[in-house]
Structures are given as structure tokens and as C-alpha cells.
């Protein structure tokens, strides 16, 4: 999945990016609100991680404008403010969750999973299509009695397909979901990941179909 991190502390931003990249997520970093808006003008995000005290303004104003524009992208606020009234105020503005600095990265990862679950309308970190179960927490596929390990980018790509079975995704859309602005990769990378996933799905009643000229979709064999 692709996240936008709005954080002016370079050391913290670097640590967050490295942590989430290990899980296969793509992270764009903006050190101020102007850069954040520029990112949002050209890319869509699955989640926003938002600092409050920024060089060119208050993250709460960004959050308020974000919700007033009917943007439903979930937002987790990263804040040094620990007063209950501050946290309540951010939730009332439309934040989906918050973390008080300093925070443990394992808690950040868990809160991200929880927010994305709620956004997707699911109760846990597993999704089932046909006879195949995708476990995002453990990074595995279960097909019948077999459990297959997934590499991080394989997992993130399957999450896109499992969230919307039968929907056609173009290569450019999948690129946008998997890679940040900083990563220089071609659309051939998607073909490589699709080929790997097809091998892992062999024998299951679920397949990734190529729709010529349009992209790919996940189908259950009748």
C-alpha cells in the first residue's frame, strides 16, 4: 500500500519510512504542508501519517481541510501533545487514530493495520476469495491445507486484488499502489510480481487474469 508521511523531523521520518518499507509499503515523505498538498495533487494514498507542528502551518488545519473536502483517506496523527483535550480535538476533526511521540514502531504498525481494517470493513487481517485465504499479519496464503509465505511486495499486491475481486487494475494503478516517488522502477516490475503470484496460486480456484489492453483482475473459477 502507498502512504503519505507528513513529518518535518528528518530522523523520525527516515526511521518510519525504513520500518514501513520493510513491510512492503511505499511511502512518500513531505516535510511541510505545501509539499504534502503537492503529493496529494498527483497521487492517491491508502493512509496519511500526519505530524501536527509543521514549519508552514498546523497539521490540524490540514486535517480539517482534508475532511471538509470529503476525502476519506484515513489519517493517523503523530503528535507530541499528550493532553486528553488535544487528542479528543484531533479525533473530532476527523483523525482515525493518533500516536503520542515518542512511540514504538510495533505499535505504529499495529495501529496502521487496525485503521486499514476498519477502512476496508473487515474485522481481522485475513481476507478470503474462493478457497484462498490471505493473511496480511503473517504474510501468508492458505490454499486448502497448504500455507505459502509471501514476499512483502507480493503481499501488498495481493491485498489490492483481494480488496476488490473481479475489478480490473491497470499496470499504472498497481505501480501507484506499490511504489513511491523515490523508487525508479518500470511497469515490467508488475509483470514479475504477477508471474510470481500466479505460480503460488497454481492449483487453487483463484487466478489472476490478464485483460488485454486494460490490466489484471482476480477471478474465482466457476
Q: Are 101 and 148 part of one and the same domain?
A: no
CATH number of residue 51's parent domain: 3.40.50.2300
Q: Give per-residue pLDDT as tens, 156-203.
A: 999 999 989 999 999 999 999 999 998 888 888 999 999 999 999 998
Contact 115, 94 (CB under 8 A): no
Over the stretch 18-35, which tens digit does the pLDDT of each residue have?
Answer: 999 998 999 999 999 999
Residues 57, 102 within the same domain: yes
Structural domains of the chain, count: 2
Q: What is the pLDDT of residues 38-93, one digit of tens each?
A: 999 999 999 999 999 999 999 999 999 989 988 889 999 998 877 888 888 888 98
For residue 5, list its beta bridge partners.
29, 49
Domain end position, chosen among 99, 120, 141: 120
pLDDT-based confidence at residue 123 (cuts at 50, 70, 90):
low
pTM of the model: 0.84
Read off the pLDDT of each residue in 138-165 and give the average, rounded to a whole number.
93
Range(s) of the domain holding residue 215: 126-220
144 or 123, which is more confident?
144
d(CA 40, CA 167): 24
Q: What is the CATH number of the domain that holds 164?
A: 1.10.10.10
| Whether residue 57 is found in the same domain as residue 154 | no
Question: Does 20 share its domain with 103?
Answer: yes
The reply to whether 85 and 192 lie within a common domain is: no
Q: Among 120, 152, 167, where does a domain finish?
A: 120
C-alpha cell belonging to residue 18: 525504513
What is the pLDDT, as a whole number, of residue 222? 66
Judge if 144 and 204 occupy the same domain. Answer: yes
H/E element, 152: helix 152-163
- Do residue 107 and residue 196 come from a single domain? no
| Mean pLDDT, the chain, integer | 92
The pLDDT, as a whole number, for residue 189 is 92
Asked if 154 and 112 sit in the same domain, the reply is no
Boundary of a domain, candidates 77, 94, 120? 120
> Do 140 and 177 sit in the same domain of this protein?
yes
Amino acid at each position: 500500500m502507498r502512504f503519505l508521511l507528513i513529518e518535518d523531523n528528518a530522523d523520525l521520518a527516515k526511521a518510519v519510512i525504513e520500518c514501513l518499507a520493510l513491510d512492503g509499503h511505499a511511502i512518500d515523505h513531505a516535510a511541510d504542508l505545501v509539499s504534502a498538498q503537492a503529493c496529494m495533487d498527483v497521487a492517491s494514498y491508502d493512509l496519511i501519517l500526519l505530524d501536527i507542528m509543521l514549519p508552514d502551518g498546523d497539521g490540524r488545519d490540514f486535517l480539517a481541510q482534508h475532511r471538509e473536502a470529503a476525502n476519506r483517506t484515513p489519517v493517523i496523527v503523530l503528535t507530541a501533545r499528550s493532553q486528553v483535550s488535544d487528542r479528543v480535538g484531533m479525533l473530532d476533526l476527523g483523525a482515525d487514530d493518533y500516536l503520542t511521540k515518542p512511540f514504538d514502531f510495533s505499535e505504529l504498525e499495529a495501529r496502521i493495520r487496525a485503521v486499514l481494517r476498519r477502512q476496508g470493513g473487515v474485522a481481522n487481517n485475513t481476507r478470503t476469495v474462493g478457497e484462498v485465504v490471505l493473511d496480511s499479519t503473517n504474510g501468508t496464503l492458505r490454499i486448502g491445507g497448504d500455507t505459502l509465505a509471501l514476499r512483502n511486495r507480493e503481499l501488498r499486491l495481493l491485498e489490492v486484488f483481494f480488496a476488490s475481486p473481479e475489478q480490473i487494475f491497470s499496470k499504472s494503478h498497481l505501480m501507484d499502489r506499490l511504489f513511491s516517488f523515490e523508487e525508479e522502477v518500470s511497469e515490467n516490475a508488475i509483470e514479475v510480481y504477477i508471474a510470481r503470484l500466479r505460480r503460488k496460486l497454481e492449483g487453487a480456484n483463484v487466478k489472476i487474469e490478464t485483460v488485454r489492453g486494460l490490466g489484471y483482475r482476480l477471478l474465482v473459477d466457476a
